[in-house]
Amino acid sequence: MKKVVIATRESRLALWQAEHVKALLESRLGWQVDLLGMTTQGDQILDRSLSEVGGKGLFVKELEVALSEGRADLAVHSLKDVPMDLPEGFALACVLEREDPRDAFVSNQFSCLADLPQGSVVGTSSLRRLVLLKALRPDLKIEALRGNLDTRLRKLDDGQYHAIVLAAAGLKRLGLEARIRAAFATADMLPAAGQGALGIEVRADRADLREALATLAHQPSWLAVTAERTVSRAMGGSCSMPLAAFTQGPVTQGSNDVMQLNAAWGDPSTAQASSGSSGVLPTPLIRVQKTAVVRSFDEAEALGEAVAAQLRAGGAVWTSNAPTP
């Protein structure tokens, strides 16, 4: 019996994800699995936005150290928190079947975004959600919201916000689906690259793990997130960009599997400045949609690169000093 250790953050959602993979490894591969809980820099720094302190990669660095030192064999990540380019010596061994990729509207008083009174306070620290929310409701006041999922919900319950926006996948995985007042249509709130998908990271030299874990992969989900993450990589590689990228499909048209990749880019400077009283309107989103036959990772990457090129042609430019919520 093979014995392996999973490095995981200690938040309730991260532990659920690690336990989920543990159960898969035990039931399908017959392995013996232990968990190594860790606290990352991303969990510790809560007074500043992620884009100010190094991006979402702060959630994975300590886990990679554990892999490199041999204290753990693999790490489980929510792919929207994983940098587009892994450090040298690490590899993504597989992507599991994707959960609901949508964003969720969560509120104790209001049933949907349209019901919020003018000037309502909505919590998020995502530049993507900032620009998309402001495109839908320029009057809203967007305020920073950091911490794990339970912390964010507690801040809402304490009355700090009229509503918050969270990933539907995390709420569903923790049995908190009842907190979702409405799931945003992807046409309105385009998800982040990789949202809802779990990935397993290993050291690149662990051929034994890569071969075994590949049997757990859900190929349609892996191809989809590859296309999405390629857009992010081509736009600069930061997890904290005001970028949304989401695939629909693949769907079969004739004899081909066709994937539709949608992307959106906004200007957080004008989005954050806009409000019902200031008279400032957010710069319109740059939206791109492209379809292609996708049967391989190379074709998924080619689609992502083409969409990124169209975004840049439309004026999308990322500067690291962009204002944050």
Q: What SS3 state is found at 200?
A: strand
Rg (CA), the chain: 19
Separation between Cα atoms, residue 127 and residue 243, nearest integer Å:
8
Separation between Cα atoms, residue 37 and residue 11, nearest integer Å:
9
Q: Which amino acid is at 318?
A: W
Q: Return contacts of 66-69, CB within 8 angstroms, 24+ apart.
A: 66/7, 66/36, 66/38, 67/7, 67/201, 67/202, 67/203, 68/203
Torsion sign across C-alpha atoms 143, 146, 150, 155:
negative
Q: Which amino acid is at 112?
A: C
Q: What SS3 state is found at 228?
A: helix
Q: State the catalytic residue, choosing from 43, 73, 81, 100.
A: 81
Q: Which amino acid is at 134?
A: K
Separation between Cα atoms, residue 73 and residue 89, nearest integer Å:
13
Separation between Cα atoms, residue 302 and residue 250, nearest integer Å:
15
Tell me whether residue 47 is one of the annotated catalytic residues. no
Q: Which residues are catalytic?
A: 81
